[in-house]
Structure 1
Amino acid sequence: MERWKSVFAENLLSQLSAGEITADQIIDVREAEEWDYYHLEGTKLIPMNTVPHCLGDLDDNKSLYIICAHGVRSEAVCRYLSGQGYDKLYNVEGGMAAVAHLQGFQYD
């Protein structure tokens, strides 16, 4: 059984702007080059392949919103973190491409 939920980009942005979540709860698992191209200010960059080495940087008491470019890598990271005991996980459907589109930025 999956121990994470999905959240759409619209909901992520509205929760962020309403102060229901903070930017540091958003974990961006893309590569540094993708991050440099476009990212949400205040979010944490932890590239997918480094996640196992960065578990100490993740607060398992807070909800974590995992995002990548389109939602595939972030789902894999949710699966991994779920296996490590994290249970307040959200995979951002559509990823940064959907977020960028909502903010008027042509991502890809």
Structure 2
Amino acid sequence: MESFEYIEPREFLEKVDGKRLGDALIIDVREPMEWDYYHLEEAKLIPMNTIPARLPELPQDKPLYIVCAHGLRSANVCYYLRQHGYEQVINVEGGMAAVAMLRGFQYD
């Protein structure tokens, strides 16, 4: 299987809050119901099951930070993207649960 990078949630939030993501995109692969509950304003919602049909929306020349609820779906999406020629994919470990906890928001 193709490997990909991981980022700890604290480091990820430091980059987001410090506007240090550059031209990278944050792709949230959760379902709309989960997104409505809590999400990052900087993220773009593309539910996991729609990724194959929406590949043309994802640039191959920019880093893609992939986030889900707990880091499992996002890991699967990272594997899928690597298999389809995306080299700069980064899985946000712990997902939105970890991000929300660091921000003091209860998310489960």
Partner AA of 1:104 in structure 2 = G
**Root mean square deviation, CA, Å:** 1.5
Distance 1:43 1:70 in 2: 16
Residue in 2 that maps onto 1:36 = 36
Identical amino acids, percent of aligned pairs = 55
Q: Is the 8 A contact 2:2 2:83 kept in 1?
A: no
Q: What are the Cα deviations for residues 40-59 of structure 1, in whole angstroms up to 9, with x where unaligned?
A: 00310000000001111111
More displaced stretch, 29-38 vs 1-10: 1-10
Q: Deviations over 1:24-71 (max 9, x none)?
A: 711000000000000000310000000001111111111100000000
Partner of 1:4: 4
> Which residue of structure 1 lines up, in the alignment, with residue 71 of structure 2?
71
Secondary structure of the residue that 1:26 maps to in structure 2?
strand
1:87-106 alignment, distance < 5 Å? 87-106=87-106
In structure 2, runs of 5+ residues without a counterpart are none
Separation in 2, partners of 1:63, 1:86: 9
5+ long unaligned stretches in structure 1: none
Structure 1 residues 63 and 69: CA distance shift in structure 2, 3 A = same
Aligned in 2, Cα 1:72/1:51: closer, same or farther, shift over 3 Å?
same
- The CA deviation at 1:4 is 1.1
Indicate the residue corresponding to 1:81 in structure 2.
81
Count of residues in Structure 1 that have an aligned counterpart in Structure 2: 108
Residues 86 and 75 (structure 1 numbering): CA distance in 2 closer, same or farther, change over 3 Å? same
Letter in 1 for 2:100: A
* Structure 2: distance between partners of 1:34 and 1:95: 12
Q: TM-score, normalised by structure 1?
A: 0.94
What's the offset of the Cα at 1:3?
3.4
